[in-house]
């Protein structure tokens, strides 16, 4: 049985005055406005992907709160949490509920309200994603973890700082074409390298931001999808893998074993290869991540991720267009919203609803990828127009 | 396609010195010890049900942490959160992942470490389950909400305080037979009524406690289940409904519309009626809840829940044995663990692994039920031995 995305809604990402509830309402209205031939009482499942609302906005039990805010009374309801991959976790929950015939029309809401309280509070909250007793307590955080990955990648493969900065340049450039992106400013390689160092070698412009935002999609069965849109976007493959959680137990810092496994599963389940992917929305939480993901997703071999961006192979018109909405670096990274926003870019691209400058023609297959925590879990979905 | 529970593991419930991680390890070891013919590398999915670890123990992203603690490297991993129904939410996620052929052997871990920090912190954390901007801010909490339900039930139906106290008496009595229960002390109706008032009319002995604990089950396909146990316990029906979240929007305080819908779905999907249920593990977070649930689950008509307990119809040997492990009142209520602990009682009863004094003979069908928040969501699962 196949399922497809039939409607999308998203809020502008950034430092928003809107509350958690208001962000949900905004994305909820947008997705319902985008849905044709739908009475909202037909929505029989709601999956909310959000990482840390308990700490950011002191609100637990967010799924029923969002149901009420959107005027929904779903039969099936849950909040899915997998840190930075919470949005995709919610999409996967919708996928399994639909394919197991537990529901027919599922709304997936990815959401995070991160700008709430002091920077100290935000840092303290984000630190709780890592093992707080064994990793975070020693000062490890997301920037310092990915900085170690960058150092190791430089050491093992000779990846250059300029290559890393090129990821930020590309993604900030594409974000210029995305009215929902947090950042709308082109940056040069020099500007990236000269921005403030956050954790050596990574600079400010190589780190995704603290972002508020929500994104929602409606997913339904193939049969129902055909009554709602001429261009359903099918979810045709999925892969996920969890290996270890403590940083000291990760088999490598320069490459993610679990990403290779997740990607392999996803390609196999879709019956395709990495070379079939025309558009990839991947998890560039830091510049180095995107480079490591070119490799882990099989777009190039290990160690050649730096060259891959340098040769322009991840631009529109290259081997595979990567992060055309601006990625996490350009569009912002409201944790739970990111995975859903990536799916929306894929739908908008396939429907031709994006500006020409980032439009990828004739997409046959697309992919979205999220990592979570210190790369301990990787999650991949594959989409097709048929 | 059918799925079955094939192994169970649980920790003692109570005020534990064990940390969150240690509770997970304890229940994890127990469930793996209980699993026959299993190599742990075969476990390809992990669903963690936990409500508020971000606030109780400042730990997010708990699913990969638990995977590592148990030596698992699952392909599918997510944390499921639905406040007090988080354990059942995780079981439902496992059910849909199995029936959609995304995995073959799923471990479900329900867990909560609530005793951590001051009583003030615990109250503040628990308040975040309600809508913090519209309900909790006005002082509403779980005890005061259920106290309003009790007041309304008394007003509409003439339910007596003694009848409510009988629920506590019954469940504390059964908890005496359960070595994993938090409370091991018989209580009389008088003792219940004379204990400290928490929120009028509810007294201390009518309120479930602040509990640490974890419970885990292994769920797999029918085919694989038969290689692992002679008595697989099948999940044969499910129902859930979400109606509103703000207390002012609930259609009634004396009965839950969403419970009737959830129960109706569950019975229909299993092809049975309420009268077919031999054992029910239901959500007695407060004494009044169990009375309202007799009604909402169809064991008696509206308004007769008080009489139902008074006439002994929810004892072993009555119409339906209810909460034979001691319920939330007797066994304790570690939020995320509760739904899984209920399933374990059903498995243990069907396998004849419980003491005679609470043993229910010849169970054909059993049911577990959780409410969450202020009763806005009700979740029901139905189990059968065939």
Q: Do the Cβ atoms of B128 and A58 come within 8 Å?
A: yes
Kindly state the average pLDDT of the residues B306-313.
98
**Tally of CA atoms within 13 A in the half-sphere of B287 that contains its CB:** 34
Kindly state the average pLDDT of the residues B250-256.
93
What's the rounded Cα separation, in Å, for the pair A226 and A232? 7
Q: Is B285 on the interface with A (CB under 8 A)?
A: no
What's the rounded Cα separation, in Å, for the pair A163 and A144? 19
Q: Do the Cβ atoms of A83 and B65 come within 8 Å?
A: no
For residue B62, pLDDT over 90 is answered with yes
What's the rounded Cα separation, in Å, for the pair B366 and B281? 8
Contacts of B373 in chain A (CB under 8 A): 61, 64
Kindly state the average pLDDT of the residues A29-48.
96
pLDDT tens per residue, range A85-113: 999 999 999 999 999 999 999 999 999 99
A333 assigned to active site: yes
Minimum Cα–Cα distance from B3: chain A residue = A100
- Percent of chain A residues topping a pLDDT of 90: 97
Closest CB to B78: pick one of A64, A93, A133: A93
Element (DSSP H or E) covering residue A203 = strand A202-203
What's the rounded Cα separation, in Å, for the pair A281 and A327? 7
Contacts of B46 in chain A (CB under 8 A): 242
For residue A130, pLDDT over 90 is answered with yes
Band of residue B386 on the pLDDT scale cut at 50, 70, 90 = confident
What's the rounded Cα separation, in Å, for the pair B43 and B45? 6
Q: Do the Cβ atoms of B64 and A238 come within 8 Å?
A: no
Residues 318-377 of B with CB under 8 A from A: 372-373, 376-377
Query: Residue B233: beta bridge partners?
Result: B5
Helical residues (DSSP H) of chain B, grouped into ranges: 20-34, 53-56, 62-69, 86-99, 119-127, 142-157, 161-175, 189-194, 222-228, 257-270, 287-296, 305-310, 327-331, 335-350
What's the rounded Cα separation, in Å, for the pair B242 and A35? 22
What's the rounded Cα separation, in Å, for the pair A245 and A140? 13
For residue A304, pLDDT over 90 is answered with yes
Count contacts between A and B (CB, < 8 Å).
185
pLDDT at A350: 98
What's the rounded Cα separation, in Å, for the pair B363 and B378? 24
Give the closest residue to B201 by CA, choosing from B138, B134, B133, B154: B154
Give the closest residue to B157 by CA, choosing from B383, B308, B362: B308
Q: Do the Cβ atoms of B68 and A246 come within 8 Å?
A: yes
Minimum Cα–Cα distance from B63: chain A residue = A82
Distance from CA of A267 to the nearest CA of B (A): 14
**A58 Cβ contact partners less than 8 Å away, ≥ 6 residues apart:** B128, B132
Distance from CA of B121 to the nearest CA of A (A): 12
Distance from CA of A101 to the nearest CA of B (A): 8
For residue B244, pLDDT over 90 is answered with no
Opening angle at CA A81, ends A76 and A82, nearest 5:
135
Q: Do the Cβ atoms of A82 and B78 come within 8 Å?
A: yes
Q: What is the DSSP letter of A101?
A: T
Minimum Cα–Cα distance from B50: chain A residue = A81
Band of residue B186 on the pLDDT scale cut at 50, 70, 90 = very high
For residue A244, pLDDT over 90 is answered with no
What's the rounded Cα separation, in Å, for the pair B85 and B242? 12
Kindly state the average pLDDT of the residues B364-378.
97
Contacts of A339 in chain B (CB under 8 A): none
Q: Is A144 on the interface with B (CB under 8 A)?
A: no
Kindly state the average pLDDT of the residues A147-174.
98
Kindly state the average pLDDT of the residues A4-24.
98
**Tally of CA atoms within 13 A in the half-sphere of B369 that contains its CB:** 38
Query: Residue A203: beta bridge partners?
Result: A197
Arithmetic mean of pLDDT over chain A: 97
Q: Do the Cβ atoms of A68 and B244 come within 8 Å?
A: yes
Band of residue B12 on the pLDDT scale cut at 50, 70, 90 = very high
Q: Is A78 on the interface with B (CB under 8 A)?
A: yes
pLDDT at A49: 98
Minimum Cα–Cα distance from B20: chain A residue = A133
Q: What are phi and psi of A254, to 5 degrees?
A: -100, 0
CA–chain centroid gap for A168, Å, is: 16
Q: Do the Cβ atoms of B245 and A81 come within 8 Å?
A: no
Q: Which token pair is A52? A: 């840390």
Q: Is B117 on the interface with A (CB under 8 A)?
A: no
Minimum Cα–Cα distance from B70: chain A residue = A244
Helical residues (DSSP H) of chain A, grouped into ranges: 20-34, 53-56, 62-69, 86-99, 119-127, 142-157, 161-175, 189-194, 222-228, 257-270, 287-296, 305-310, 327-331, 335-350
**A153 Cβ contact partners less than 8 Å away, ≥ 6 residues apart:** A159, A253, A254, A288, A291, A292, A305, A306
Residue whose tokens read 């630190």? A127
User: Across chain A, which distance is largest between two alpha carbons, in Å?
Assistant: 57
Band of residue A251 on the pLDDT scale cut at 50, 70, 90 = confident
pLDDT tens per residue, range B271-286: 999 999 999 999 999 9
Contacts of A73 in chain B (CB under 8 A): 241-244
Look up the ipTM and state it. 0.98
Q: Is B249 on the interface with A (CB under 8 A)?
A: yes
Which domains can be identified in chain B, with CATH numbers?
3-118+210-232 (3.40.47.10), 135-208+234-384 (3.40.47.10)
Q: Do the Cβ atoms of A372 and B81 come within 8 Å?
A: no
Minimum Cα–Cα distance from B91: chain A residue = A78
pLDDT at A384: 98
Contacts of B377 in chain A (CB under 8 A): 64, 77
Arithmetic mean of pLDDT over chain B: 97
Contacts of B67 in chain A (CB under 8 A): 242, 245
Closest CB to B60: pick one of A51, A101, A244: A51
pLDDT tens per residue, range B123-176: 999 999 999 999 999 999 999 999 999 999 999 999 999 999 999 999 999 999
Kindly state the average pLDDT of the residues A119-142.
94
pLDDT tens per residue, range B38-55: 999 999 999 999 999 999
Minimum Cα–Cα distance from A126: chain B residue = B60
Distance from CA of B40 to the nearest CA of A (A): 14
List residues of B with catalytic annotation: 84, 333
What's the rounded Cα separation, in Å, for the pair A381 and A206? 25
Q: Is A123 on the interface with B (CB under 8 A)?
A: no
Residues 31-70 of B with CB under 8 A from A: 46, 51-52, 54-55, 57-61, 63-65, 67-68
For residue B379, pLDDT over 90 is answered with yes
Contacts of A219 in chain B (CB under 8 A): none
Q: Is B268 on the interface with A (CB under 8 A)?
A: no
Closest CB to B54: pick one of A52, A77, A377: A52
Out of A139-143, B76-80, B275-279, B310-314, least confident range: A139-143
pLDDT at A268: 98
Give yes or no for a contact between B369 and B245, defined as CB atoms under 8 angstroms apart. Answer: no
**A20 Cβ contact partners less than 8 Å away, ≥ 6 residues apart:** A53, A56, A57, A59, A62, A111, A113
SS3 B176: coil
What's the rounded Cα separation, in Å, for the pair B22 and B298? 40
Minimum Cα–Cα distance from A238: chain B residue = B102
pLDDT tens per residue, range A208-231: 999 999 999 999 999 999 999 999
What's the rounded Cα separation, in Å, for the pair A320 and A294? 10
pLDDT tens per residue, range A272-284: 999 999 999 999 9
Q: Which token pair is A100? A: 């197991």
Kindly state the average pLDDT of the residues A235-255.
94
Q: Which token pair is A281? A: 């929305």
pLDDT at A383: 98
Query: Residue B145: beta bridge partners?
Result: none
Give yes or no for a contact between A131 and B24, defined as CB atoms under 8 angstroms apart. Answer: no
Q: Is A133 on the interface with B (CB under 8 A)?
A: yes
Helical residues (DSSP H) of A35-118, grouped into ranges: 53-56, 62-69, 86-99
For residue B251, pLDDT over 90 is answered with no
Contacts of A61 in chain B (CB under 8 A): 51, 81-83, 128-130, 245, 372-373
For residue A319, pLDDT over 90 is answered with yes
């Amino acid at each position: 049985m196949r399922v497809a995305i039939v409607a999308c809604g998203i809020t502008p990402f950034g430092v928003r005055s809107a509350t958690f509830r208001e962000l949900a309402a905004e994305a909820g209205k947008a997705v319902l406005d985008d849905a044709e031939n739908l009475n909202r009482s037909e929505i029989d499942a709601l999956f909310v992907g959000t990482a840390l609302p308990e700490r950011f906005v002191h609100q637990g039990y967010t799924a029923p709160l969002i149901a009420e805010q959107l005027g929904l009374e779903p039969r099936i309801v849950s909040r899915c949490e997998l840190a930075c991959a919470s949005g995709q976790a919610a999409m996967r929950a919708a996928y399994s509920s639909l394919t197991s015939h537990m529901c027919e029309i599922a709304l997936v809401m990815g959401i995070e309200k991160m700008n709430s309280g002091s920077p100290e509070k935000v840092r303290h909250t984000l630190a709780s994603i890592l093992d707080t007793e064994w990793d975070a307590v020693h000062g490890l955080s997301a920037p310092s973890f990915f900085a170690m990955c960058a150092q190791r990648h430089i050491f093992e493969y000779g990846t250059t700082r300029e290559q890393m900065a090129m990821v930020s340049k590309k993604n900030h450039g594409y974000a210029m074409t995305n009215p929902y992106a947090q950042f709308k400013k082109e940056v040069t390689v020099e500007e990236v390298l000269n921005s403030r160092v956050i954790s050596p070698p990574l600079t400010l412009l190589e780190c995704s931001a603290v972002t508020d935002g929500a994104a929602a999609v409606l997913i339904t069965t193939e049969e129902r999808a055909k009554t709602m849109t001429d261009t359903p976007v099918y979810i045709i493959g999925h892969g996920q893998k969890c290996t270890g959680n403590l940083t000291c137990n990760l088999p490598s810092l320069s490459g993610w074993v679990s990403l290779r496994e997740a990607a392999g599963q996803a390609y196999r389940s879709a019956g395709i290869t990495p070379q079939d992917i025309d558009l990839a929305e991947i998890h560039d939480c830091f510049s180095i991540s995107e480079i490591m993901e070119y490799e882990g997703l099989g777009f190039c071999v290990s160690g050649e991720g730096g060259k891959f961006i340098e040769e322009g192979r991840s631009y529109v018109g290259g081997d595979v267009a990567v992060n055309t909405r601006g990625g996490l670096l350009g569009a912002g990274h409201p944790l739970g919203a990111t995975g859903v926003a990536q799916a929306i870019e894929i739908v908008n691209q396939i429907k031709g609803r994006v500006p020409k400058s980032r439009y990828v023609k004739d997409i046959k297959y697309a992919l979205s990828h999220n990592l979570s925590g210190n790369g301990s879990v990787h999650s991949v979905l594959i989409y097709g127009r048929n």
